[in-house]
Amino acid sequence: MAHRGLHDTDRPENSLAAFEAAAEAGYPIELDVHLTVDGGVVVFHDDTLERMTGHLGNVRDRSLAELAALRLLGTDEPIPSLDQVLERVAGRVPVLVELKTRGPAGRLEPAVCDVLARFSGEHAVQSFDPWSMLWMRRHVPYLPRGMLSGDMRSEGLPLHQALVLENLLLAPAVLPDFIGYELRVLPRWAPSLWRRLGRPLLAWTIRDEPALQRARGLVDNVIFENVRP
């Protein structure tokens, strides 16, 4: 799965050009979404705008129209909405949507579901936030959902929260259809257990050939960039 599309120096991550390149190459797409201040769903990874646009401020404090007016890494590529990305992909490849939640579940999730309901191609959702995926299980149980985790202690979380996330302790409530886990800390008992229970295991993020070779013996699929599987 192409991490934020098939991006390079000419095609920024999470851009329509990167998604078009991935679809043309036949790679499923992984992308990130945030909720805008006016309730839209925008495709963007960071919480803040500075790295990708040079502008200051939080994504969640801007409207969909304001974000669409910005450009990615000095190119002509705008920040796209989820609707625009799905229209461009047009069902050619599967799409994996990572929800970047802030605060309690129940705001971004229904907005994403509304957009996905208009998309006929293969798709699934995932998040590092187990409460987000629990919302998905309760409200759209037919939509494939995945739990993301890895070395959460490096994220500055309280130790008890990091341990809950690293060890997928809320997975029995979420009942994920798949697990996405940081390759650097695999193998690990929790994702291995869920894999034995029949849940496919994805590794993130594969960036070079040695990592790709290591992943082949540990997981069922990879989320990659800068290297072609």
Mean per-residue pLDDT of the chain: 97
DSSP 101-134: --SSSSSHHHHHHHHHTT--S-EEEEES-HHHHH
- Percentage of residues in the chain having pLDDT higher than 90: 97
CA gap 146, 195 in Å, rounded: 12
In tens, the pLDDT along 26-74 reads 999 999 999 999 999 999 999 999 999 999 999 999 999 999 999 999 9
CA gap 110, 71 in Å, rounded: 27
Closest-CA residue to 189 (of 206, 201, 177):
201
Residue 156 has pLDDT above 90, yes or no: no
Residue 197 has pLDDT above 90, yes or no: yes
| Domain residue limits, the chain | 1-105
Instruction: Find the angle CA(122)-CA(40)-CA(110) to the nearest 5 degrees.
Output: 60
Q: Does domain 1-105 have CATH number 3.90.1150.140?
A: no
Residue 223: predicted pLDDT:
98
In tens, the pLDDT along 167-183 reads 999 999 999 999 999 99
Rg (CA), the chain: 17
